[in-house]
Amino acid sequence: MRICIFGAGAVGSHFAVRLARAGHDVACVMRGSHLDAVRANGLTLRVGETAVTVSVKASADPAELGPQDVVISTLKATGIAALATGLAPLLTDDTGIVFAQNGIPWWYDLGLPARHPSIPDLGFLDPGGRLRAVVPKGRIIGGVIFSSNEVIAPGVVANLSPERNRLLIGECDDRQSERIARLRAALNDAAIESPAVKEIRETIWSKLLTNMSMSVLCLLTEQTARGVRDDPALKDVIPRLLDEANAVATHYIPDVKRVTRSGPAPDHKPSILQDFELGRAMEIDALVRAPAAFARAADLSTPMLDLMAALAVRKARDKGLDQG
């Protein structure tokens, strides 16, 4: 397959290496020193003491990469608007676009099952409707990533979760299509786990439960996930926080897997905290504002989540990272 990774940072570069090693024609949209290093020396993935280097097409200009069978966007929600202007040269009539990001996606209302409860206005996730104007429903593939990675040097990415690297995908209307089966097979062959998904929104909420609660708490306390879970001062706070998060998710997706305090807690900083420390725009809208809007639409009382959302927005604003 011709596969373009759009926004190949840490996780995107990791997936690019695995897909290229599996024999696919991989192209990457990337920029800066990372791009310069990949052009000069190839793209390197480190897993423990093992390093693998592959040659991939790479450019900051999608027009240099040509048409693709599938585009996998690993851009964060804060940068996804770049797709609106960059997609056209990558598309054929049949090209699907995987939107693999944290939080509530801009396309959530498209292909929504009739049984799904009514949802709030999510226009703030796609300001001006730029993506909606250029990406029709038929191209949209939902994606949820479970993989921890870090760019440790230009052109070199380290995988920090060797036992768990997944990209779960599904059509926005949950139909079981041929293209999903084909892409899922390609991912599995590349050692990127992609088991069958019945409802892509259930998968989105299952990850969001942790991000909207524990990850935001990590941001506020500037601790790792394990540090937050094991902090005696937060012993009584976390269960109440998770109760609220679970209540919101199960209102919309009754079968979603609930998150509990006893769940796994890796000893690393979630991406929202990493972005804060590096002075980068944070995914406040997708991880904080959107879940709060869903809670209000369901008439649910979520004082803990509301307080965390307000504090997260204030923390971002104080560092000049406010999204609006």
Query: Can you give the C-alpha Rg of the chain in angstroms?
Result: 19
Token reading at 72: 């996998």
Beta-bridged to residue 171, according to DSSP, are 141
Q: Is 247 in contact with 302 (CB distance < 8 Å)? A: yes
Residue 76 contacts residue 101 (beta carbons within 8 Å): yes
Give the integer Cα–Cα distance in Å for 119 and 298. 8
Q: Which 3-state string (H, E, C) describes 110-141?
A: CCCCCCCCCCCCCHHHCHHHHHHHHCCHHHEE
First to last CA, the chain: 39
Name the catalytic one among 207, 235, 269, 315: 207
Question: How many CA atoms does the CB half-sphere of 169 hold within 13 Å?
Answer: 30
Q: Are 104 and 122 in contact (CB under 8 A)?
A: yes
**103 alpha-carbon distance from chain centroid:** 7
CB 160 within 8 A of CB 148: yes
Q: Which residues partner with 5 through β-bridges?
A: 28, 72
Cα separations in angstroms, 124 against 190, 224, 291, 294:
35, 29, 13, 13
228 contact partners, CB below 8 Å, separation of at least 6: 214, 217, 218, 221, 234, 238, 265
Q: Give the tokens for residue 92.
A: 């054929």
Q: Is-catalytic flag, 207?
A: yes
**Polymer length of the chain:** 324
In terms of Cα–Cα distance, which of 56, 64, 68 is closest to 12? 56
- Give the CA dihedral 227, 233, 238, 241, nearest 10 degrees: -120
Active site residues: 207
